[in-house]
Structure 1
Amino acid sequence: MRRPEDSLDTRIGARLAELRTQHGLSLGELAERSGVSRSTLSRAERAEISPTATLLNRLCHVFGRTMSQLLSEVEAAPAPLVRAADQQIWQDHGSGFVRRSVSPPHTGLRGELVEGRLAPGADIAYDRPPVTGLEQHLWVLDGALEVTDGEQVHHLDTGDCLRMRVFGPTRFRCAGPVETRYVLAVVRP
């Protein structure tokens, strides 16, 4: 049985604090750069709150890494074979977003695979990419998804694939009455 100090939120919080220190930032400076309040950052670092996808995205932007990289940094060293039972699952309970790291970042590889699930009505907006110019290939497996990339709105149905490089704000919205499930292939520039 895992101890509370071994929870994913605790490990994420500790890693966020390490990254802030490595970048020589105070909580106030990080708050200015990320647009996240100092108190929220402090609570996330102490694992008093479970960080949302939007919060993690903003911090990843400041630290120059993808969300998958951040999450992989709090896991054991990645293996070449990732069994389904070992794939890290992270949930943003507030937005209805579930994220499975199917193929986490690995040394020497630029790509990763993520399975995303959005509950009906789920709507996640990112005000900036975690890494500017990030290449993404989004393949809808079930349901309908509306993706906004800057000013461009894309409506995707089951089987559709959207390819894009991310330079600005994006938004992912479950566009149907049932859960949307998709695969996201992410390639660092």
Structure 2
Amino acid sequence: MRTEELADPPADNDDSDPDPDAVDARLAARLAELRAERGWTLEELADRSGVSRSTLSRAERGETSPTAALLNRLCHVYGRTMSRLLGEVEAASAPVPVLRAADQRVWEDRASGFVRRSVSPPHAALRGELVEGRLLPGADIAYDRPPVAGLEQHVWVLDGTLAVTADATEHRLDAGDCLRLRVWGPTRFRCLGDTGARYVLAVVLP
């Protein structure tokens, strides 16, 4: 399988970000744990994910902040959604029915201009979850595969205009519009216009 060098994000000196380095460090440790649990070498993971060994090594050592595209590939290999992976980054207690706004996990792909908030209270035994996504003007994120084949998604745009491509068809979504799809192949999310876009993503495991 051909492996790809996924570009590292540029340096970000925005002090307003709530300690992104700490989040990246915990994420790096979890990625290393998942590989070790399976007894895979970096070369084996590179073959399975299509990501180069050097990129994987830097991600596991916390030397680079992983992009959404890279995490999506690893989620596919490890058989979990991105919300579950990010939820595993912090020590989880017993599931709770209410997750306060201040406690919802936020992850940022600074290279792509994408901010992801896990809205639903985490629960490993349940199949549905809600995510809030924010794309900066001009943001363009392409996923070459779903994290879980056959994943059901509902994309409800709250603000701005979003273009979502699936099955080679692009859907332009304005505020209030909702797209429902089941994901088997590549998808692409693009922010149209100059005001950014905010949307709710409902995800249901098959």
Q: Same fold (TM over 0.5)?
A: yes
2:98 equivalent to 1:81: yes
Q: Any stretches of 5+ residues in structure 2 without a counterpart? A: 1-18
Match of 1:117 among 134, 138, 141: 134
2:23 equivalent to 1:16: no
User: Could you state the TM-score of these two structures normalised by the residue count of structure 2?
Assistant: 0.87
User: Across the two proteins, how many residue pairs are aligned to each other?
Assistant: 185
For residue 201 of structure 2, what is the aligned residue in structure 1?
184
For 2:141 and 2:124, the matched residues in 1 are separated by 29
* Superposition misfits of 4+ residues, deviation over 6 angstroms: none
For 1:46 and 1:26, the matched residues in 2 are separated by 14
List aligned pairs for 1:20-169, cutoff 5 A.
20-77=35-92, 78-169=95-186
What is the aligned-residue RMSD (CA, Å)? 1.3
Q: Any stretches of 5+ residues in structure 1 without a counterpart? A: none
1:52 CA displacement: 0.5
Cα displacement string for residues 12-44 of structure 1 (whole angstroms, at most 9, x for unaligned residues): 111111111122211011111111111111111
For 1:183 and 1:76, the matched residues in 2 are separated by 25
Moved more, 55-64 or 96-105: 96-105
1:104 CA displacement: 4.4
For 1:32 and 1:113, the matched residues in 2 are separated by 31
- Is the CA contact (8 Å cut-off) linking 2:98 and 2:121 kept in structure 1? no
Q: 1:178 to 1:94 in 2, by over 3 A?
A: same
User: Could you state the TM-score of these two structures normalised by the residue count of structure 1?
Assistant: 0.94
- Is the CA contact (8 Å cut-off) linking 1:69 and 1:104 kept in structure 2? no
1:125 CA displacement: 0.1
Q: Secondary structure of 1:103's match? A: coil
Between the aligned residues of both structures, percent identity stands at 74
Cα displacement string for residues 118-175 of structure 1 (whole angstroms, at most 9, x for unaligned residues): 0000000000000000010110000000000121111100000000110000000001
1:64 CA displacement: 0.7
- Is the CA contact (8 Å cut-off) linking 2:84 and 2:124 kept in structure 1? no
- Is the CA contact (8 Å cut-off) linking 2:108 and 2:116 kept in structure 1? yes
1:76 CA displacement: 3.1
Q: Secondary structure of 2:63's match? A: coil
For 1:116 and 1:148, the matched residues in 2 are separated by 16
Moved more, 47-56 or 100-109: 100-109
- Is the CA contact (8 Å cut-off) linking 1:105 and 1:111 kept in structure 2? no
1:112 CA displacement: 0.8
1:79 CA displacement: 2.5
